Amino acid sequence: MASQQSASAQASADFVFGTFATDELRLARLRAERRGLVHAQRITPADPLPGDEVHISVSIGPDIAADHVACYVTNDGSDPQGERGHAHIGQAVLLTHSHIEWDTLVWGYVSYWVAALPPQKDGTLVRYRIEAWSEHGSAHWACEIAGVVGGDPPDDLDPADANLFQIPNSPALWPVRRQGSYAYHVDQQHVPDWLRDAVIYHIFVDRFAPDAGQPFATPGSLSGFFGGTLRGTLERLEYLNDLGITCLWLSPIFVSPSHHGYDSTDYGTIEPRLGTIDDLRALIHGAHACGIRILLDYVVNHVSSAHPIFQQAFADPNSQAAEWFTFTKWPDQYLSFFGVTDLPQINSDAAPARQYMIEQAKFWLEQGIDGFRLDYANGPSHAFWSEFRAATCAVSVESVTLGEIVETPVLQRSYMGRLDGCLDFILMQAMRQFFAFGTLNVSAFDSFLQRHLAYFSNDYVLPSFLDNHDMNRFLWVVGGDTRRLMLAALCQFTLPHPPIIYYGTEVGLSQANDVRRPDGSGYAEESRSPMLWGAVQNAELRSFYKQLIALRRSAPAIWRGPRTTLTIDDANGLYIYRCGTGQPSALVILNIGLDTQRVQLPEHTGYTLALTSDPASELHQTMCLLPQYAGVVLWEQ
């Protein structure tokens, strides 16, 4: 029974990477990335400092015959323009040929070109575009995929893109490319320390807490309104403070017709169902008073089709509003979020749209919030985020930007210097494979962790999570077995990046059905049930989470590293690693196997139990006994 549930849930978890779910999609993506003129933000250093020369790299696949490549660059924020090596706005820098590689997937050669852009002073936004041409042929511009449009393929669809967004069980979605406007910001901005130390709690405002004394509404469907509010959340600050979290991520709170708020019609106003701006200020004030930061969920990629600016664009293709969007065929064909026409996509490179999104973000920072979780951050251009982060850091150097980028680590890493970090979907997938599905063994999980953590720069934060609002809850996936949840959480909290708790996880909140509808018609909101309050909470689980948070906060050595693997026992499902080198260091022992394990500890003066996920665990001097699915943290003296 449990294994059946796991098998179906696994496929669901894998669907997290929907655009990479099948070989066909992966091939289409890789080919599209190799066939044409590609920059893909390949700059060195990845996050330029004042005075750094910046090396850019461009590849040209077999689809393009070019013997010249130029970069047009400005350092005053203006949009660079040029043609065949001559700049009209800014400077032209010619690239030189570097080397050639063979690519078996596209069955052709790819040539690489490079150039150095001059050093800049602190605070400079460097904008650039890249053109390649042949003396005998037409010009090409490096481009990104701008987004997708549903329905018929656009006339100018590159054959290499044809399958790029045919997501399984979805109608065909066709990519549209845009002439790339690239940028990087030269600064000395670093990830604020508070973010590294954070324990983040993620709530759906409508599902977390109604006003004091009120019960949740019972709308009859998880798509309805349950009545959670900002005031209700404020009332529960004591709960959150007692739990020990240090950062609260609110689901979108701006005016929106939906319970989730990812389709706003007004970025300057709080949705009345959820409260008022004064309620938000009160929540910020109350949270800050107990050391809790507030992150808003912010959607730059798209707006509701009911947003007045889209309505103007829809009414008049010659209006300034029309520039905010990308119509492939006005009025009814335009870029939208995965082809959902209710969610038209913003052209983040259009100056008025860009300014609106930046100004609204600044306004909310000025109200006291501490930063943003950025929805579908790979939708807007990289250049947009370079400018966005410079603007938000100018309001507060302590503010943070965390992207949702459900893509490859290569793409996630490319936002280095443009965002403070991104949500760690790859780790989430591996944690679920290891702790929930059993499809990774200890060796593979350890190997993954070592490489994954080393792949990203130290100045880039990857908040960890076991589940979120778009997938099955971890607890449901493991058939309600809290031992496996606690074991996974124990591992999560001893890893370097800040952990996120999805509301209710700490008290046993689960779900009734798979998020995938059995008829294949799409995805339901099963993992967004209302928070459990009072006696229905799992007190044991909550107590464990409270201890876990307290341990992480009081003893940063357990996650700051270095982390050293001591035991990998695939046969027995035993995994042991040491955290820290100092006095004291900690030993983390995880038993993912089927049996109780008797673990002989390394020679040491002595051990004390810091935490266990199972009270039946026993420590006897240098021997530790762990029941199935138990984990312990031991202090080494």
Residues annotated as catalytic (active site), given as ranges: 375, 404
CB of 634 to a copy of itself, least distance (A): 19
Binders of a copy of itself in range 534-573 (CB under 8 A): 565, 567-570
Distance CA 431, CA 488 (A): 7
- How far is residue 306 CA from its own chain's centroid? 27
Token digits for 96? 């030189």
CB of 95 to a copy of itself, least distance (A): 16
Residue at 454: amino acid letter: A
CB of 454 to a copy of itself, least distance (A): 6
Residue of 6, 29, 293, 495 interacting with a copy of itself (CB under 8 A): 29
435 secondary structure, DSSP code: I
Distance CA 624, CA 599 (A): 5
Closer CB to a copy of itself, 454 or 536, in the complex: 454
Residue of 50, 51, 108, 291 interacting with a copy of itself (CB under 8 A): 108
Sign of CA dihedral 598, 604, 608, 611: negative
Q: Is 212 in the site for a copy of itself (CB under 8 A)?
A: no
Q: Is 448 in the site for a copy of itself (CB under 8 A)?
A: yes
Residue of 30, 40, 49, 619 interacting with a copy of itself (CB under 8 A): 30
Residue 247 near residue 198 (C-beta atoms within 8 A): yes
Q: Is 11 in the site for a copy of itself (CB under 8 A)?
A: no
In this chain, which stretch among 155-163, 444-452, 606-614, 620-628 interacts with a copy of itself, using CB under 8 A?
444-452
Beta strands 371-374 and 293-298 are parallel
Binders of a copy of itself in range 133-172 (CB under 8 A): 134, 136-137
What is the size of the binding site for a copy of itself (CB under 8 A)? 42
Torsion angle in degrees (nearest 10) through CA of 255, 300, 171, 204: -50
CB of 439 to a copy of itself, least distance (A): 12
Q: Is 519 in the site for a copy of itself (CB under 8 A)?
A: no
Residue at 336: amino acid letter: S
CB of 26 to a copy of itself, least distance (A): 6
Closer CB to a copy of itself, 114 or 395, in the complex: 114
Closest alpha carbon to 491 in 420, 442, 437: 442
Residue 603: how many other CB atoms lie within 10 Å: 6
Bridge partner list, 109? 102
Sign of CA dihedral 276, 277, 278, 282: positive
- Residues 42-61: x where in contact with a copy of itself by CB under 8 A, - otherwise, as a string: --------------------
Supply angle C-alpha 387, 393, 395, rounded to 5: 110
CB of 571 to a copy of itself, least distance (A): 11
Angle between helices 539-554 and 482-493 (to 10 degrees): 10
Distance CA 417, CA 239 (A): 35
CB of 503 to a copy of itself, least distance (A): 30
Distance CA 203, CA 207 (A): 7
Residue at 632: amino acid letter: V
In this chain, which stretch among 21-29, 213-221, 511-519, 544-552 interacts with a copy of itself, using CB under 8 A?
21-29
Distance CA 143, CA 204 (A): 36
In this chain, which stretch among 100-108, 339-347, 464-472, 617-625 interacts with a copy of itself, using CB under 8 A?
100-108
3-class DSSP string for 159-174 = HHHCCCCCCCCCCCEE
Closer CB to a copy of itself, 360 or 457, in the complex: 457
Residue 149: how many other CB atoms lie within 10 Å: 26
In this chain, which stretch among 63-71, 178-186, 257-265, 370-378 interacts with a copy of itself, using CB under 8 A?
63-71
Closer CB to a copy of itself, 504 or 593, in the complex: 593
In this chain, which stretch among 132-140, 281-289, 314-322, 523-531 interacts with a copy of itself, using CB under 8 A?
132-140
CB of 135 to a copy of itself, least distance (A): 8
Closer CB to a copy of itself, 45 or 119, in the complex: 45
Closest alpha carbon to 176 in 326, 378, 299: 326
- Residues 450-489: x where in contact with a copy of itself by CB under 8 A, - otherwise, as a string: xxx-xx----------------------------------
Element holding 249 (H helix, E strand): strand 247-250
* Residues engaged in binding a copy of itself (CB under 8 A): 20, 23-24, 26-27, 29-30, 62-67, 100, 102, 104-105, 107-109, 111, 134, 136-137, 408-410, 443-444, 446-448, 450-452, 454-455, 565, 567-570
